[in-house]
Structure 1
Amino acid sequence: MVKEYGYEYDAVLDKELYEKSKGKVTHEKFMGAMCLRSGRDVLKVVAREFEPTAVLIPSLACDSMILPFEMYGHEVNYYKLNKDYSINQESLYSLIPNEDKTILFLYMDYFGNKTIEDAELEKLKASHPHLIFIEDRTHNLLVNSRYTFKSDFTVASLRKWIDIPDGGLMWTDRELKKKEYSEDLTFSEVRLRAQCMRNEFLQSGDESIKTEYRKIFSTVTDMIDEEKLPGLMSQYAYERACQINLSEVNEKRRRNAQVLIEELKGFSFVQDKTGLGDVYVAVLIENRDEVQRKLASMGIFGTIIWPLNDKQRAVCEVSKYTEEHMLTIYCDQRYSVENMKYIASCIRRVCNE
């Protein structure tokens, strides 16, 4: 059996569930949230609710957070972050126009680092009643919110946390005006096939399978980016998610993150506290690209989760530095304590070469 660490989830097809759910999307709620096909689709739902306007997005954000708004004609503006990844309030306020016009404001915590205090959110709401607040909970989905402030929309990508082929979540108390959704399951079917192929590769070591599933994973999101209509979550993914013990998932991630942090003492962590959102463990290193390549040759994959555009880099030095230096280490439920210690030892060895 091949040993690889990181990268996309592999999966074993639940044949009985697949036959029962084939061709179906879900209209059920999960964790009290509406179920969409992906995080991108969740943001499409938000974006299409409003006439084209300005959207305020943190400069450290991936294109999957930007494209849905651009797709619906909104103008994306980026605000700066401070060195601790909190929102640079001077930058944020400078982007809010004085006129009484609807503005969309998206904010998120980074690896457990709280970016804005409740008091500041309340102040913003009081002084700018036209602001629409959108909280992205992808990084801290499985822990209790540290905010008492209630956003207009809360969004998250579920498939970052568990081995489902598709899945995004949205919470809102607002009555949605637009209620048309795509029920196309091509994205889910293709990703599920790639996940099963990856499992086959890990069992057999057949490199031709690896080449094929990697090509699928690298291109499959294009079909979402090309479709304006937001899609619903597949029934297969929904049923699989319902079978998973999320508390156990969260506990294993917290444990694994703690092992990595202890084993990598001396490294510069984006955050060094566990239990606040253990989607990855992120470190900042000077020769990130070289380290990443060497680790990949050893079967350890760290991903660059925020490739930035030129405008984002120009707006914020912290975001630019993070993009260039951050290595994200997978700490999810697939791995044991021994796996984490092995990964940490490899990172130390490569960084000391």
Structure 2
Amino acid sequence: MCLLSYSETIGIGDYIVGSIRKWFALPDGGFCASTYDMHDLKKEQAANNYTFNYMLAQLMKQKYLQDNSLDKTKFLKLNKMGMDTLFSDYKIREMSEVSIQLMKSSDVRSIISIREDNYRSLWLKLAKIPQVTVMIPWEVGIIPLGMVIAVEDRDRLYDNLIKNDIYCNIHWRTNRCMDNSEEAIWLSKHCLTFRVINDIQMNI
């Protein structure tokens, strides 16, 4: 995503922040690029506890997808432990060696292809539901991290999805410190983001 400044270049991205963790389905990793000189920030050691829990959870997830008679609660518990660790620590950390090696061995073309196919599959299904508005229709060449939809009574849908272990995010809740427009408030109350995964091919 782009972070927009309040300088004379407002409307143009001065910073680009990317999540390597999300793009490549890795335990950790990210980057920040800028049109300005950036100070070399001090970084802590990699979050090894989080990486360990994440890797175990992903291995168990793959086993469950191959055999859904297995107990998925163990995977969900480990995944929650990893996520709790991730979102309780906002220090700037080095990318773990595990993630670096996994990224180097990633098949980028395969990731692009799977993301395209999964986004298209989601779009074809959700576009048939009159209560759902897909904010960005599928087009050839779209390589998204997530699919944003708008619905009435968004919070009830969100709660129901979470209860059924369907991962989604609310992007973004409004902030009292910001001068929110009517459009921003509407989006904040109606939008959900589904992650478009690349570690499995979706068949829905």
Q: TM-score, normalised by structure 1?
A: 0.47
* Moved >3 Å (runs of 4+): 103-106, 170-176, 199-204, 206-213
Partners of 2:145 and 2:185 in 1: how far apart?
21
Greater relative CO (CA pairs within 8 A, separation 6+): 1
For 2:105, the equivalent position in structure 1 comes to: 243
Please list every run of 5 or more consecutive structure 1 residues that lacks an aligned counterpart in the other structure.
Answer: 1-38, 44-54, 58-95, 97-102, 107-115, 122-132, 137-154, 342-353
Partners of 1:290 and 1:180 in 2: how far apart?
41
Choose 1 or 2 for highest CA Rg.
1
Partners of 2:171 and 2:49 in 1: how far apart?
22
Q: 1:278 is matched by which residue type in structure 2?
A: P
Please list every run of 5 or more consecutive structure 2 residues that lacks an aligned counterpart in the other structure.
Answer: 65-69
Q: 2:191 is matched by which residue type in structure 1?
A: M
Q: 1:199 is matched by which residue type in structure 2?
A: Q
* 1:169 Cα deviation after fit: 2.0
Q: Is the 8 A contact 2:15 2:34 kept in 1?
A: no
1:305 aligns with 2:171: yes
Distance 1:260 1:166, change over 3 A: same
State the identity %.
16
* 1:283 Cα deviation after fit: 0.8
For 2:180, the equivalent position in structure 1 comes to: 315
Partners of 1:256 and 1:209 in 2: how far apart?
23
Query: Secondary structure of 2:177's partner?
Result: helix
* 1:263 Cα deviation after fit: 1.4
Q: 1:293 is matched by which residue type in structure 2?
A: D
Q: TM-score, normalised by structure 2?
A: 0.76
Q: Is the 8 A contact 2:172 2:188 kept in 1?
A: yes
Q: Is the 8 A contact 2:43 2:93 kept in 1?
A: yes
RMSD: 3.1
Partners of 2:50 and 2:101 in 1: how far apart?
16
For 1:184, the equivalent position in structure 2 comes to: 45
Partners of 2:27 and 2:9 in 1: how far apart?
29
* 1:167 Cα deviation after fit: 0.9
Q: Is the 8 A contact 1:104 1:134 kept in 2?
A: no
Q: Is the 8 A contact 1:56 1:104 kept in 2?
A: no
1:231 to 78, 93, 109: 93
2:58 to 186, 196, 199: 199
1:292 aligns with 2:158: yes
For 1:60, the equivalent position in structure 2 comes to: none
2:147 to 270, 273, 281: 281
Query: Secondary structure of 1:315's partner?
Result: coil
Residue pairs, 1:1-353, within 5 angstroms: 56=4, 103=7, 133-136=13-16, 155-171=17-33, 176=38, 178-185=39-46, 187=47, 189-199=48-58, 202=61, 203=64, 204-205=70-71, 207=73, 210-211=76-77, 213-224=79-90, 227=91, 230-265=92-127, 266=130, 267-274=132-139, 275-312=141-178, 314-338=179-203, 341=204
Partners of 1:322 and 1:335 in 2: how far apart?
29
Query: Secondary structure of 1:262's partner?
Result: helix
Partners of 1:172 and 1:242 in 2: how far apart?
24
* 1:105 Cα deviation after fit: 5.7
Query: Secondary structure of 1:305's partner?
Result: coil
